[in-house]
Amino acid sequence: MKIGSIEVKISVIAIAVVVVLTLILIITVVYTGDSRLLIWGIPTLVMLLLIPVALNYLSQRQYGELEPVYRSRAKNTRIRMINESMIGQVVRVEGVVERVYFQFLNRPQYLVADRSGEISVKMFTNPTETVKKGDIVEVLGTIINRYIVTGDPVINCVSIRKIKKA
């Protein structure tokens, strides 16, 4: 679904929840014969769809606004050079996507590698374009710890896009 210039996606989990709850609502109304349940049930189901759509839209818009800021502040960095002393720095990394995780949750995570090493790239919304294993990408983001205050450094991605590289 497209809202303005932003492509909004709803996760498979949110759709599954709405489908299961719709079935439960229908079965309950048929079994009890109490159609008054629909007065609250239908608006609740609609909200269960609208809330994830709205949150995804807001995330996409915010990331879109942040991309130019990150692009101007980012330093070109080789993956091998990323370490814990760089936590909080804005970086630009180019590499090949080796693995893709959690796309169905709208929280994709990528394993990106260049010739110097590999790093996990976490994104907390969908990227503007679909990125698959084997794509050559440019990643803009901030170095963070994997587990809030501990763990190895990873990139909190604001933008990941395919690039053509010889």
pLDDT of residue 1: 76
Tell me the pLDDT band of 166, cut-offs 50, 70 and 90. Answer: low
Say if CB 139 and CB 119 are below 8 A apart: no
Q: Across all residues in the chain, what is the average pLDDT?
A: 90
Start-end ranges of CATH 2.40.50.140 in the chain?
77-162
Rounded mean pLDDT, 89-106:
91
Range 77-162 classified under CATH 2.40.50.140 = yes
Higher pLDDT, 111 or 125: 111
Would you say residue 147 has pLDDT above 90? no
pLDDT of residue 73: 92
Residues in the chain: 166
pLDDT of residue 127: 85
Report the C-alpha gap between 52 and 61 in whole angstroms: 14
Is the pTM for the entire model greater than 0.75? yes
